[in-house]
Structure 1
Amino acid sequence: MAMESPLLLDAITAWSSTHLSLQDKSYETAAIAHRSTALNSLMTSLGSSNRDPEMELASCLIHCSLESISGDTEQWFRHHVGAYEMIRSMAATGATADLDLRRFSTTFEGRWLLRSFAYHDIMMAVAEGRKPLLVSGEYWADMGNVGADTYFGLASRIMFLISEISILDVDMANPAAAEEGLDGSFSASAFRIEQALISWTCGLSDNEQLVNLAEMYRSAALIYIYRTLRQHRPEYTHVVVKKIERQVVDIVQRVQSMPARCLAESSLLFPMFMAGGEAEDPGHVQVIRHRMLDIINERHFHNMEVVLKVLEEVWHLRATGVSSPGGRKIDWKDVLARRRWMLSIT
């Protein structure tokens, strides 16, 4: 793709030079120049009469990733929205607001781009407490069996359930829901999602690390649904607290068993973040902290450094007895609200 598209080549060069500059400051000037070139290429393409929407979408996603690994807490989201608008313009049916995503199924590149967007969109929804921008069922899994995904490995179904939790979280927070008598429906939906996560079985694979990663995503998703219940239905707190603890233990144990520098390690941020936000045991905190620091030092992904800063603040405030307004324990959402950060957990 990059050899055929100067637009994509510019974006990849910008990403690569930026990542290199995070390891060696002497490359910072070159990285800035390449980023400027890539942004100009994208702007020129968007204004051209001979556009290539797939390459523009790929460029948007690369810019989103570039800002993310740089430790940005705002610009990555703007590129993500740009990618969504690109998909919407490509898939618009004209007559209705519905999107026809089948055009992405005709090429390997199209299918990969849609899965890449889905991963970032769902993770954005978790961190931001909002619905995914693209709500269209399990659309990335309707493109045929592709085996392990670049981002979420064998956890495709888990990703769909996480997106459902995000939607439920927003709907439960709607004050009008109680007036409409939807409380029982929400509780039933939460139970259904919980049971779907518990009963899910990982696809067959001889790659132990991919299986471990998928199981960690399942545990992180369970933490997410229990957090949602705890937030919107406080009467369930005593029930979900033990369930959360079990999932934290599972993630920590699997993190410890996953070899350093393995490929699956690059997708550990989401489960470690969810477990870290709930970890109470100092030993569990130390495992998560140590693994994050090791990945930061080895891979130079600065969004993980930002995530660790958020968790460190949570751990410190809890240890010193600081509570949130209303007397509840400090949560990572409180830290993000105070800092006004948009957290990239991809």
Structure 2
Amino acid sequence: MAMESKVLSEALVAWSAGHLASVDQSYETTALEARSIALNALAKAVMSPADSISSHETNTAACLVLLTSEVCQGDRAGWYNHLMGAKHIIESAKCTGLSSKAIITGPEVFKQSPEGQWVLRNFAYHDVLASVTLGRPPLINAEYLEGITDVVDTYLGVASEVLTFISEASSHGHDMLFAVSSPDEPVPETTKQQFAASLEAYLEVKQKLHDWRCDASAKPELAAVAYAYRSAALIHVYRRIRGLLHLSQSMNHTIHSEEYMNGVIASISAGLKFQAGQLLAHVSKIPLNDIPESALLFPLFMAGGEVDPTDITLLDMIRNRLRMILEKRNFINVLSALEILEELWDRKTKHASQSSNLDTVADWEDVLKAQGGLLLLT
């Protein structure tokens, strides 16, 4: 693709120059020049788009390359602009279908070619994982992945389908569920129904994840990555359920009895710790410095947010894996993620003697919010 597209080739040069500059300061000026050239080329391409499938593919790919460049160099906000740009290019794409004269639009345009499908999986990887740390729905619901995940993907191996479940959990918002009624007033029947619908939606995603299996013929290390992502996705779903229940309690709008709600929350907490343990067991099957290790930032971070901070063995496993990934690749978002976990573990350890429920003490979302930046775990 890059050999046929100036905008994509310039983006790749900018990515390479930026990465060189991160390990050798003598390349800083070169990196800035390359980034400026790449942004200018992308701006020109977007301002005068062609209606060919290949132009949509390469323009989107250029956005995603620039996004990863920003993330790897430690940017905590600008990468989101590139993600938004990729989203707009995907949604605005249109062309005549290959097998008919009908006009197709959006992600369906990209599904017409293997390169376009790769771009969609690439976009989904960044968009869906961003939805977890941003606490908002994906920019595009990942249902477009249907039919294009039965390959060994360059990012997630055989785990791409898991992104659809994470997207489904992130897309179901409940933050405004109790915003209308006063805590002193009876819970409206409509709110009870919405609460039940939200809980049911999360439980359905949870069941889908429990039922999911990767391709039985997958290599052991790729299967381990896939199941680590499944556990990370389950952690995300459990956290969403816990957030819904805590929201209800904080507004004094307990739909069920307090005893029942506390029991459910305790069950969720146990499920979180169990999945964190399962996740790390899968990670332990992936050889150190093996290529699949490059995909482990997201699952390691999700496990790190739920493990017992007094379990030094688990903490060291997460810490050492992240340090090794950072040392090998020098991607600064790995360092940012590790620093957030270290701060979280420190907070929980300090409060361990004061409260038996560490879930109420601190969460990685609190640490991230206090830092005021955005974090992308890709």
Verify same fold: TM over 0.5.
yes
* Cα RMSD after superposing both structures: 2.4
Q: 1:198 to 1:341 in 2, by over 3 A?
A: same
- After TM superposition, the structure 1 = structure 2 runs for residues 89-104 of structure 1, keeping only pairs within 5 Å, are 89-91=92-94, 100-104=106-110
What are the Cα deviations for residues 224-261 of structure 1, in whole angstroms up to 9, with x where unaligned? 11111112114221111111111111122222231122
Q: In the alignment, which residue of structure 2 is the partner of 1:333?
A: 365
Q: Give the drift of 1:91.
A: 4.6
User: Over alpha carbons, which structure has the higher Rg?
Assistant: 2
After superposition, where does 1:160-239 map in structure 2 within 5 Å?
160-168=164-172, 170-171=173-174, 173-175=176-178, 179=188, 180=190, 181-234=193-246, 235=261, 236-239=264-267
Corresponding position of 1:58: 61
Q: CA deviation at 1:173?
A: 4.8
Equivalent position SS for 1:257? coil
Residues 1:91 and 1:283: Cα distance change in structure 2 (over 3 Å): farther
1:79-123 CA-partner distances (Å, limit 9, x unpaired): 101110111111599xxxx95432212222111111111111100
1:283–1:86 distance in 2 versus 1, CA, 3 Å: same
Instruction: Kindly indicate whether the alpha-carbon contact (under 8 Å) linking 1:92 and 1:100 is maintained by their aligned counterparts in 2.
Output: no
Match 1:81 to one of 69, 80, 84: 84
Judge which range, 232-241 or 177-186, deviates more.
177-186
Q: CA deviation at 1:24?
A: 2.1
What's 1:109 paired with?
Answer: 115
Q: Which residue of 2 aligns with 1:129?
A: 135
2:291 equivalent in structure 1: 263
Counterpart for residue 255 of structure 2:
none
- Matched to 1:161, the amino acid is F
Relative to 1, partners in 2 of residues 1:100 and 1:131: Cα closer, same or farther, differing over 3 Å?
A: same
**2: CA distance between counterparts of 1:31 and 1:224?**
36
Deviation, 1:164, is 0.9
Deviation track 1:179-226 (CA, whole Å, cap 9, x = no partner) reads 422111222222211111111111122411100000001111111111
**Partner residue of 1:310?**
340
Give yes or no for contact 2:11–2:62 (8 Å, CA) kept in 1: yes
What TM-score, normalized by structure 2, do the two folds share? 0.84
- Give the whole-Å Cα distance in 2 for the aligned partners of 1:279 and 1:87: 38
1:120 alignment counterpart: 126
| Structure 2 residue 254 is matched with structure 1 residue 248 | no
Seen in structure 2, the aligned counterparts of structure 1 residues 327 and 215 have a Cα distance that, compared at 3 Å, is closer
1:118-156 alpha-carbon deviations (Å, 9 max, x no partner): 111100111111001102x5212334x641111222123
State whether residues 220 and 275 of structure 1, in contact with CA within 8 Å, keep that contact through their aligned partners in structure 2: yes
TM-score (norm 1): 0.91
**Matched-pair contact (CA < 8 Å) for 2:17–2:34:** yes
Aligned to 2:374: 342
| Cross-structure match for 1:151 | 155
1:33 aligns with 2:38: no
Aligned residues with identical type, % of pairs: 36
Change (3 A) 1:183 1:50: closer
Preserved CA contact (<8 Å) 1:172 1:186 = no
Greater length-normalized contact order (CA 8 Å, ≥ 6 residues apart): 1
* Matches of 1:192 and 1:327, distance apart in 2: 24
Instruction: Answer yes or no: is the 8 Å Cα contact 1:123–1:345 preserved in 2.
Output: yes
Structure 1 contact 310–335 (Cα < 8 Å) conserved: yes
Is the 1:173–1:232 Cα contact (8 Å) retained in structure 2? Answer: no
Q: Deviations over 1:8-59 (max 9, x none)?
A: 1100001111112222222222111111111111122223365733221111
Aligned with residue 321 of structure 1, among 346, 351, 375: 351
Contact 1:91 1:101 in 2 (8 A): no
Query: For 2:176 and 2:244, how far apart are their aligned partners in 1?
Result: 7
Residue type at the aligned position of 1:21: A
Structure 2 gaps of 5+ residues are: 97-103, 181-186, 247-260
Separation (CA, whole Å) in 1 of partners of 2:105 and 2:48: 24
Deviation at 1:176, TM superposition (A): 5.6
* Stretch of structure 1 that moved more, 23-32 or 68-77: 23-32
> What amino acid does structure 2 have at the position aligned with 1:314?
L
Letter in 1 for 2:343: E
Distance 1:336 1:269 in 2: 16
Matched position secondary structure for 2:161: helix
Distance 1:78 1:92, change over 3 A: farther
Residue pair 2:343, 2:367 contacting (<8 A) in 1 also: yes
